[in-house]
Amino acid sequence: MAVSKPKLVVVGNGMVGHHFIEQLCSLGLNKTFDVHVFGEEPRPAYDRVQLSKYFETGSADPLMLTSAQDYQDWGISLHLNTPITAIDIAAKTVSSAQGDNYHYDRLVLSTGSFPFVPPIQGNDRAQCLVYRTIEDLEAIQAAAQNSKVGVVVGGGLLGLEAANAMKQLGVKTHVVEFAPQLMPVQLNDKAGDLLCSKIEQLGVSVHTSKATTAIIDGETALHRMTFNDESYLETDMIVFSAGIRPQDSLARVSNINIGERGGIEIDDYCLTSAPDVYAIGECALWQQKIFGLVAPGYQMARVVASHIASLGSNTVSQSFTGADMSTKLKLLGVDVAAIGASRGFDNAQFVELSDNQGGIYKKLWLDETGKFLKGAVLIGDNSDYSRLLDSYLSQDEIEGSAVELLLAGAENEADLKDTSIVCSCHQVTKGDIVESVNAGNHKIAEIKSCTRAASGCGGCAPLVQKIIDQTLQAAGLDFNAGICAHFDHDRQALYHLCQVESINDFNTLITQHGKPSASGHKYGCEICKPAAASIFASLQNHYVLDQNLGHVQLQDTNDAYLGNIQKDGTYSIVPRVAGGEITPTKLIAMGQIAQEYDLYTKITGGQRIDMFGAPLSQLPEIWKKLIDAGFETGHAYGKSLRTVKSCVGSTWCRYGVQDAVGFAIDLENRYKGLRSPHKLKFAVSGCTRECAEAQSKDIGIIATDKGWNLYVAGNGGMRPRHGDLFATDLSTEDLYKYIDRILMFYVKTADKLQRTSTWMDSLDGGLAYLKSVVIDDVLGINDTLEQQMDHIAATYQCEWKTSLDQPEFLARFNEFVNPNDAPTADTNTYQRIRDQRFPNIKDAGAGTIAVKDITDDIEQPAVEELV
């Protein structure tokens, strides 16, 4: 008969409790113990650090850290919805709220914390909530549905997270803080003030130095909050996030020692005053300190697992020696970081950088000798964090002047020592990551699963990626930065090379910067050649089919013949119809040309007309007729501005507040011909009814009675995305400036075939960063961007007109080099449907695409997209 295993009971299945189980399993202790885990929530452990993600997806699934199945697989009994109400430390049993008793040989308390709700009269009114669990989020979401205004009480780290969530739910958000500044625990006053102004710019109102005295019935909203300075605020919902308190009530009623101000007292092995009972995480008090971050909790979990493993064996247990509380995070899109003694201390030396223009504040605190970093605070730019944290944790003497630490920039962010901790949640060092990369794990997902780096709060993911790239590069291995097999550079790097070295032809580019090829060929491929052609066009704006520069050989199918190839090898023709406005005369001219050549015609999604079925050899004469009728090329074949769609606007519409059509035409004329990493679409709506669907465009403009609202980075297609509001009530002049800058910055920095939406999301800081570049000019490049755009606009040419003026060029459009030997009749066959001509190709479906990489380029919601 088997000897029964010793029993291990864990109370609490939050992040730390779950981490303890993982540690236990990694040591194989789930086999030697009979493990029971009790959680009071209905779900197993989930990620509380990134709670506001719940609102991005509307689901708890992305937050889950584990599942009931995992526990079953580990042979661990997981009891959810089962609060533990008492511990008998003499009998070594715990009792559940359901009245069941469980024996333990070892007990781990991982009960976490609870949100502190200030004792204010009325704090229990309807829609007065807290922010900790998924159930809390559901309640916040429900309340937001019938709220216009919301207040978060507490301007600390969690309060600002809650404010972010509230803002995402579309509620006008206020933050009320008792202290004179935001994040008083981590930030000094200047840093707090800058954070405050940045958050207010995002539309969140911040009220500091305010103590709430009561919550009573409101007049314009559900509640009125009255403050100690006689002022008040009316609001429909309130979220209390004024700090956390250790959840120590179970220990308290069980006569386990509790600190004076709460928290279960523990020693260096996380043992409490009761025999064989441990406490870990936010409920534990070590040397009179509570650690309210996940990383120290994880450290405690590791210590306890190691202590249990050491019992009855000759291994030595780890011990808890305190934890670093440095933190880096993005609050409402604003970078914030605090390291060590981030609020300073007496006799400290300091270095301070306050960049009012760039919205950046950094301060380093040094010891009395000025040689050792003791603390730092960063607002608006976190890029120095890893390096500073490394300097702080290692306590190596600072080389040179401390100010250089601030100005070193982020380029060498990954130049850390092998012993430097990269992921503080899971204590993963740079060396661990490098080792794992060298063992064959080249993707961040693989690194996450085998080292666990970046799988906690995720804050270190960009750094982990850099270390992966650096390691692969050092090992001479291919990594994903290169645009294709012929270059190690991404598009942005190629753009810079071409710009700085004035490279204007592919042969120079591949000879000087391409990868050495065993065969010695310098042909490139269908990826790098069109990308290079697009870069040359963005920089110089020469004729795209220039034969002397060899540009014609670089162009992909559509650009090469200035038309859009169709499935039967014929082309479609799309003249520009700026703003969708066309005179009857031009409409008739187009109709006559289409009739003469028997072209299939269709109205596109971009408010113009597409004519299909022109064989290669007819393109020049058709275009000659179109140009004579006053048309110009529509660039439908290019990665360039397609259309500026418009509604009819104030000229005819009885609701319009601005002339949408006139403005759309002007915009289209300014940006036509701009070659970009991907196609660009604009729209202008003349009023808030948004009939032009501007929010689904790369650049969307909606008229207001004071000017124009600008939306950026929307798109239709396979993965539709609404544009983000970039700026409001702009004058026409400012709007042009902003669009100039946004587009040139996109052209300069985006990857090949990257739409504006994915480009903006890929920028570190996303929309907020783009705003800082375009509106605040943090990079100091706006003058250059505008000049470049002026150059593009000034050198615009209708490529078809240029082509028709060069007879030698037109030879390319002969179907055969020996046309006299060719049959005169068209070899393609057609059928007539609905009085128009269609290709007679057996296979009516889409062809098989050979290269998966281009699928993103083939979106098919409208004819305009197909071309």
Partner 1 sequence: MSWINVCSEASMPKGTGVAAWVAGRAVAIFNLGNDGLFALDNIDPASGVSLLARGLICEIDGELCVASPLYKQHYRLDTGRCIENNDLVAKPFDIKTEQGNVFVLAQS
What are 409's two structure tokens? 């920039």
Q: What gap in Å lies between CA 272 and CA 641, rounded to an integer?
A: 68
In whole angstroms, how close is the CB of 821 to partner 1 at the nearest point? 4
Q: Does 807 participate in binding partner 1 (rule CB under 8 A)?
A: no
Q: Site map for partner 1, 448-487, x if CB under 8 A?
A: -------------------------------------xx-
Q: Which stretch binds partner 1 (CB under 8 A): 458-466, 554-562, 671-679, 724-732?
A: 554-562
In whole angstroms, how close is the CB of 637 to partner 1 at the nearest point? 12
Task: Enumerate the β-bridge partners of residue 802.
Answer: none
Q: Does 689 participate in binding partner 1 (rule CB under 8 A)?
A: no
Q: Which of 502, 517, 787, 831 binds partner 1 (CB under 8 A)?
A: 517
Residue among 528 and 768 whose Cβ is closer to partner 1:
528
Residue among 559 and 668 whose Cβ is closer to partner 1:
559
Q: Does 827 participate in binding partner 1 (rule CB under 8 A)?
A: yes
Residue among 44 and 613 whose Cβ is closer to partner 1:
613
Q: Is the dihedral of CA 37, 42, 43, 46 positive or negative?
A: negative
Q: Which of 39, 297, 524, 606 binds partner 1 (CB under 8 A)?
A: 524
Closest of 34, 40, 36, 50 to residue 14, by C-alpha: 40
Residues in contact with partner 1, total (CB under 8 A)? 45
Q: How far is CA 616 from CA 28, 243, 819, in A?
A: 71, 71, 13
Q: Which of 432, 556, 724, 864 binds partner 1 (CB under 8 A)?
A: 556
Q: Which stretch binds partner 1 (CB under 8 A): 249-257, 321-329, 361-369, 565-573?
A: 565-573
The Cβ of residue 53 has, within 10 Å, a number of other Cβ atoms equal to: 17
Which strand (E) or helix (H) includes residue 815?
A: none
Which strand (E) or helix (H) includes residue 329?
A: strand 327-331
Q: What gap in Å lies between CA 12 and CA 406, rounded to an integer?
A: 42
Q: Does 845 participate in binding partner 1 (rule CB under 8 A)?
A: no
Q: Site map for partner 1, 601-640, x if CB under 8 A?
A: ---------------x------------------------
What single-letter DSSP state applies at residue 316?
P
Residue among 517 and 728 whose Cβ is closer to partner 1:
517
Q: Does 867 participate in binding partner 1 (rule CB under 8 A)?
A: no
Q: CB within 8 A of 495, min separation 6: which ones?
A: 535, 538, 539, 747, 748, 749
Class of residue 422 by CB neighbours under 10 A (exposed 0-12, middle 13-18, buried 19+): buried
Cβ atoms of 583 and 576 closer than 8 Å: no
Phi and psi at 764, nearest 5°, equal: -65, 110
Residue among 1 and 851 whose Cβ is closer to partner 1:
851
Q: How far is CA 466 from CA 414, 479, 615, 742, 751, in A?
A: 6, 11, 50, 26, 17
Half-sphere exposure in the Cβ direction for 720 (13 Å, CA): 8
Q: How far is CA 644 from CA 310, 553, 669, 709, 786, in A?
A: 70, 30, 9, 16, 20
Q: Does 357 participate in binding partner 1 (rule CB under 8 A)?
A: no
Residue among 132 and 486 whose Cβ is closer to partner 1:
486
Q: Does 823 participate in binding partner 1 (rule CB under 8 A)?
A: yes
In whole angstroms, how close is the CB of 660 to partner 1 at the nearest point? 38
Q: Does 849 participate in binding partner 1 (rule CB under 8 A)?
A: yes
In whole angstroms, how close is the CB of 524 to partner 1 at the nearest point? 7
In whole angstroms, how close is the CB of 815 to partner 1 at the nearest point? 6
- Residues, the chain, total? 867
In whole angstroms, how close is the CB of 171 to partner 1 at the nearest point? 48
Q: Does 855 participate in binding partner 1 (rule CB under 8 A)?
A: no
Q: How far is CA 151 from CA 161, 170, 187, in A?
A: 13, 13, 22
Residue among 313 and 827 whose Cβ is closer to partner 1:
827
What single-letter DSSP state applies at residue 328?
E
Interaction site with partner 1 (CB under 8 A): 485-486, 517-519, 521, 523-526, 529-530, 547, 550, 552-553, 555-557, 560-561, 565, 567-569, 616, 811-812, 815-819, 821-823, 827, 841-842, 847-851, 854
